[in-house]
Amino acid sequence: YGYDGGYGDYGQGGGGGGGGMGPPGGEGLSMEYYSMTCPYAAEIVRDVVSAALAKDPTLAASLLRLHFHDCFVRGCDASVLLDSTKAHGTAEKDALTNKSLRGFEVIDAIKAALEAQCPGTVSCADVLAFAARDSVYMAGGPYYDVPTGRRDGSLSRADDTSALPAATLKAAELIKVFVGDHGFTVPELVALSGGHTLGQAHCANFKNRLSGFGKAGNGVDPTLEAGMAASLAKTCKAAGDGGTAKLDATSNAFDVEYFKGLQTRRGLLTSDQTLLTGSPETAMYVNQFAESPDAFFETFVQGMGRMGQLDLNPDGNVRLNCRALN
């Protein structure tokens, strides 16, 4: 994939903690974290992700989403990967909102390859960060360095997934969650929402836009383009809550089509379209990113850097199997 400069030149002049680069709060992370203990960690991840995406390009969206759903619940600690058990109860992955998560078997394959080379060394939380980065790049998005050293947590509770932003949130509520609660900037919120340039959503998450509007309460969301609304209604009538629609026109390519779609009222979720119609502050960046892939990519990388450092768990360990506690 012509990764520029390969992996050899990590952290030049960066020193241990990455030389104060990137968002604050990453003191525990470093570009050099595995340089002595598992120098080929990044390549091992890349090879498994590359093979998985060659077989099924839709997994790029799934692997990016796993990292996001991990970091927004208890921080980036791979809690999303733990299986439910009798002893510990229902885990995050079995919560209603996470039922559609996929890609767990890709993470298992990456972990098995890492364990074969460097036993007990690379955390599952770092695997998620690497796999998200590689997925974005292989789908045509930006390449960025991932600092490592995250630790895996020991708690995973379905109830905690209430921390994930719902598909029905409006701009003001999204700003509260991303900016107020997690310290992102508004442009980072818009760029990270642009992760919906990849993937699809289920009717359960957008059927709220297909009825209940207008004086009589039987109209569709006026911010949804009429032809698209009719087509979505047909899909959901035929397939129920499990029916799916693409989040943008090019759902396996990491591009600015998502933002161009918002400009023509073709955002799929309430939380997508509201970025244009719900707040002048977010709309400004929707329009900027639609015009400039460079601006989108750069801001997305900033946002991913901040997301990958949310609420790091200093007391965690390195799980040997990402699905189970050691």
**Which residue numbers are catalytic?**
69
241 is in an annotated binding site: no
231 is in an annotated binding site: no
272 is in an annotated binding site: no
Contact 244, 200 (CB under 8 A): yes
Q: What is the DSSP track for 169-235?
A: --HHHHHIIIIIIT---HHHHHHHHGGGGS-EEEGGGTGGGSSSBSTTS-BPPTTS-HHHHHHHHHH
Per-residue buried b or exposed e for 50-86, using 16+ beta carbons within 10 Å of the residue's own CB? eebbeeebebbbbbbbbbbbbbbbbbbbbbbbbebee
225 is in an annotated binding site: no
From CA 226, how far away is CA 237, in angstroms rounded? 16
43 is in an annotated binding site: no
Question: Encoding tokens for residue 35?
Answer: 């340089």
**Half-sphere exposure for 152 (CA within 13 Å, toward CB):** 26
Other C-beta atoms within 10 Å of 217: how many?
8
83 is in an annotated binding site: no
Nearest to 324 by CA among 110, 78, 50: 78
From CA 166, how far away is CA 164, in angstroms rounded? 6
196 is in an annotated binding site: yes
From CA 78, how far away is CA 69, in angstroms rounded? 9
277 is in an annotated binding site: no
> Which residue in the block uniquely carries the two structure tokens 């990016």?
64
197 is in an annotated binding site: yes
User: Residues at the annotated binding site for Ca(2+)?
Assistant: 70, 73, 75, 77, 79, 92, 197, 248, 255
User: Residues at the annotated binding site?
Assistant: 70, 73, 75, 77, 79, 92, 165, 196-197, 248, 255
User: Residues at the annotated binding site for substrate?
Assistant: 165
